[in-house]
Structure 1
Amino acid sequence: MTDKYTTLVNQGVGKTIAKRLGLPQPAVLRRFKPGQPLVTGPVLVQGNTAGADELAAKLLSWDLDVRRHAVPREKLGAIILVLDELTRPEDLEKPVLSAAASLRDLGPSARVITISRPAAETASPAQSAARQGVDGFLRSLAKELRAGATANGIVLAEGVQSTSPSALAALRFFLSGRSAFVDGQFLTVATERGHLPPDFEKPLAGKVAVVTGAARGIGAAIARTLHRDGATLVLVDIPAAGDHLAAVANEVRGTALQLDISSPDAGQRIIDHAVQRHGRLDIVIHNAGITRDKLLANMDHGRWASVLNINIAAQLRINEALLASEHFRNSPRIVSVASTSGIAGNRGQTNYAASKGGVMGMVRASAPLLAVNGGTINAVAPGFIETDMTARIPFAVREVGRRLNSLQQGGQPSDVAEAIAFLASDAAGGINGDVLRICGQNLVGA
């Protein structure tokens, strides 16, 4: 589904009228295309720590145009604010106000990225206050940026360096067009695990990935993106979607498995299919899900049970089979699709929100179980995404849903797919048990 309004106000007469009337003018976002530059314009790295120096040197090795000091009126592609040695709230003022002086020089779809430490209970009260202050600062700044620019943060656990593999991978993700609809969010790099791919255009080369709910919409977009990034695909969906599933499988040169994921043996059947057809299984993407919306006062057993069964209970059963299998022990990756409804709630979706909240709880609790074999499990939480489902929402409600975020537009299925592909990569091995919102910084929820 296309957002005709955004197209209209970015060209010709529509652009002129919108500007004169003071109407919202959502920017056309810079989305990833193979072969395009990582970032458009110079990258300003600010910070006086060893981590800032090491990071700047690493970015130079990527052939980026790196600045350590701002040049007035020079259009910037990104500002990276290294705040990894804060000890008290007063330490924020100098680097933050220094970055503020360059904000007007940001180009369209530019990036602002903070690199900081977590506000751990083991830190002193002053240090924890300074670190938590980065959260409030970054999320507020994201709501001030314009022209498709975004602001996101990377949080480095104690002992993790700014140039660790997953820190660099997260930085590349946030700098690139892959993160077009991610705004005001943080990724935590918990360990030094992970390694950067020899080819950034094919980070999933040699991997076998399973995608559930792959016949249409976001699932099909995930399949296409993983295929583009080099993965071999096993696509799963219910028999009723068999024709669509086969078409997508043929498109990405994968295999199709018609399967009801709620069946007790679904996990083992997925494993057997992947191993028999492709010799291994490395990645599982839990995308399949349903909605059965109703106000709680009108909710019945069928609506409640079916949503909880498909959206979370099935994932739990499949994960149990994966964790028990000898074929899923070589740095495996699981990525689940949650929802901002599970974070902020949504009227008429108590069952759906409960299931998606459950997904996030499952991810956090399962992280140590995957880590034993060098694996990870993470989730993405989409907001308003332009799909056939959102196209059926009444016009007025749909328009509000689209505009109620910092980027003033809906996301694309590819935006969800890009985040999943990143979290499924070996480079993201230091990110585990995290939830990344793909919502353009929706103005409700955390």
Structure 2
Amino acid sequence: MYVAIDDTDSQDKMCTTYLIYEIISRGEYDIIGSPELVRLNPNIGYKTRGNGALNINLGKGSGNTSIIGKANGKFIKSYEKVAGEPDKQELMDFISSIVEDFYVKDDDKTNPGIVISNDRFHSGLYGKALQDDISIEFIENYLSGRAIYRKIKTGHGIIGSSASLAWPGKSYTYELLDYRYPNYGDITYGEKIDISSIPESFYSTFNNIDIKNRYPAIFPKPKTPVIFGVRGVDKNDLITIYDRIKERHNIDDQGYIIYKTNQGTDDHIMPEPDYLSSMGSYSLTGVISGEPYTIEGGHSFVNFKYKNEEIKLAAFEPTKEFRKVLMSVIPGDIVSAYGSYAKGTIKLEKLRVIKKARLYRKEPPVCPECHVKTRSKGQMDYRCPVCKKRYKNPEITEITRELEEKFYEVPVIARRHLSMPLKLMPYFSDIPQTSGVS
């Protein structure tokens, strides 16, 4: 039986993923498959932090088992097959009691929703949740006859919960989240940097640390039950990394859960659409049509022609050194821009330079007789300072540009959960996957 939950946290408290840990720890159900952390539309304005919903398949399991976590010193294992389903209403009562215990009650923007279903939903709902703003009314109509659900307060969380059950999971990564409720307390910045460096030595991981900007990306910004989260494509590596962190650092945790997730997959990117929506994220191929410029605050922009539409590409201040890439393009460059679209602007996550325009400069010619560079007298008039001979045509020299024809990405400090790091592109070249991303 699939259980999905969303919208139990706030900007600075809790984390909905922790409820999965509590469900597993308190419940007497078997887990079938992997718990899932599904990120949805990053452009939704009312999201708490990462706009992620959770689901887990509970019941009586059979077949082979695999480790998906640890609680209070004991491994948590999941089964590969379902042998029996629990009673829906009993399961709803159990899940509701946990949500009631832990959701953030003093925040009007926290509106939990629980969905329980025998089956997963059509992937079209997932696609819609990545690109659009879905109403509660739409979801309630969708769930009618398909599943049971519970709304707490406005129950806005049933939207994300339902969408998580529609994720097809064709391309996926994993994240190991380590917990201590209500929060771990203070870890020094230096220790965070040291811990974040441990997974960096495993090629199967991604988005651990931004070395240049000294940003320990595996640690959440607000204090939540999450101590750290390590992302990767190999579950066994994640367990090894967890053990190594525990060996080298005194982390007094409750345990961890490994989630199957759509993070780092670019699932939110729709390629080359005919119509651009302000809620959408796209990859657009077109031509740079103006000179780049920077405004107050350090935000950089350039005009870009996509099909018959003139839009702007933006690299905002948090993208740090990536702004230099945008400032290096010139009119005529053919590029593919990846990012979210709003108000005529693409907020860049990646930029692929497909073909560079050639850049030239005019210089006074060299006198062929004296081998001395002539001097400009204006109006296409060049004169040799030695023999005084005059020349009309300048020497045309091509300028070597540092910009290369390749992909560029924003640094880890500015990277979105869904955005695919360049290092993962080879893994996702052959889809569907059978294990991790292979």
Same fold (TM over 0.5): no
> Which bracket does the TM-score occupy, shorter chain normalised?
under 0.3
Question: TM-score, structure 2 length as denominator?
Answer: 0.26
Name the structure where helix makes up a greater proportion of residues: 1
Name the structure where strand makes up a greater proportion of residues: 2
